[in-house]
Amino acid sequence: MWERNELQVNGAAATQQMIDVFNVKGIVHFGIAGNMNNSMSIGDVSIPKQITNAGLWDWLNPDKVKGVEDIAYLDVGNYNVPKGDGDNELGSIGYNYEQLYSVTGHINAPQNVFWINTTQEWLHLAADLEKMELSQCVNASLCLPKKPKLVVGLKAATAYIFVDNAAYRNFLYDTFGVSSSDMESSAVAMVILNPLIFT
């Protein structure tokens, strides 16, 4: 876990250093992500309108009453194999808000943020890229099964874990509507976040 969390720390630190040293007008962060949306395929490019940190959760004991402080819950017992195989001792997972500390906000008074929004200006610029034709083949012998596309305006998740479980992937898509998951986008976005653009 620690090694993967380091990706978020490094992403945030590198972003902050660029802002401190250069006159930055905006940041384009790119990399690889896992797919949560069945309408997307390997090679497709997604430019999200919103990002959330889906790695902020608490493990709740089976006897703990769910409160209103969490955004959503994953009941581990729903994923018993075989299904309906009694109670599950693992309890549930409660998903939390990110806490935003801002230089323009009140001292020591973080604001709870779940979705980090891409600004309308950047989404408008990205919309012009949707017509871009992406290559299907790297060379004559290495090609994707179908022509990739660029999609603007979906939702994305970040977590410091690699999502390699179909049931969990479906849970994230069904619960939060996210189409992709990576490991550092929300950390980068939190560094550059203007307090006026969160929800």
What is the Cα–Cα distance from 188 to 191, expressed in whole angstroms? Answer: 5
Residue 101 has pLDDT above 70, yes or no: yes
CATH of the domain at 188: 3.40.50.1580
pLDDT category of residue 9 using cuts at 50, 70 and 90: confident
* Structural domain includes residue 83: no
* Structural domain includes residue 10: yes
pLDDT at residue 186, rounded to an integer: 82
- With a pLDDT cut of 70, the percent of the chain lying above it is 87
Query: What's the whole-number mean pLDDT along residues 88-110?
Result: 80
Measured distance between the N- and C-terminal CA atoms of the chain, rounded to whole angstroms: 28
Residue 185 has pLDDT above 60, yes or no: yes
pLDDT tens-digit map of 119-129 = 899 999 999 89
* Structural domain includes residue 46: yes
Q: Which of 177, 147, 185, 131 is nearest to 37 (CA)?
A: 177
pLDDT at residue 86, rounded to an integer: 63
Average pLDDT, the chain: 83
Residue 106 has pLDDT above 90, yes or no: no
* Structural domain includes residue 154: yes
Q: One-letter amino acid identity for 107?
A: I
Position with higher pLDDT, 33 vs 7: 33
Position with higher pLDDT, 151 vs 61: 151
* Structural domain includes residue 63: no
pLDDT at residue 112, rounded to an integer: 86
pLDDT at residue 4, rounded to an integer: 47
Phi then psi dihedrals of residue 118, to 5 deg: -75, 140
* Structural domain includes residue 70: no
* Structural domain includes residue 80: no
pLDDT tens-digit map of 51-91 = 999 988 888 876 666 666 789 999 888 888 777 666 677 88
- Across 1-5, 41-45, 109-113, least confident range: 1-5
Cβ–Cβ < 8 Å for 46, 180: yes
Sign, Cα dihedral of 143, 182, 188, 196 = positive
* Structural domain includes residue 197: no
Domain containing 18 equals: 2-56+97-192
In the chain, how many domains are there?
Answer: 1
**Could you tell me the pTM of the whole model?**
0.81
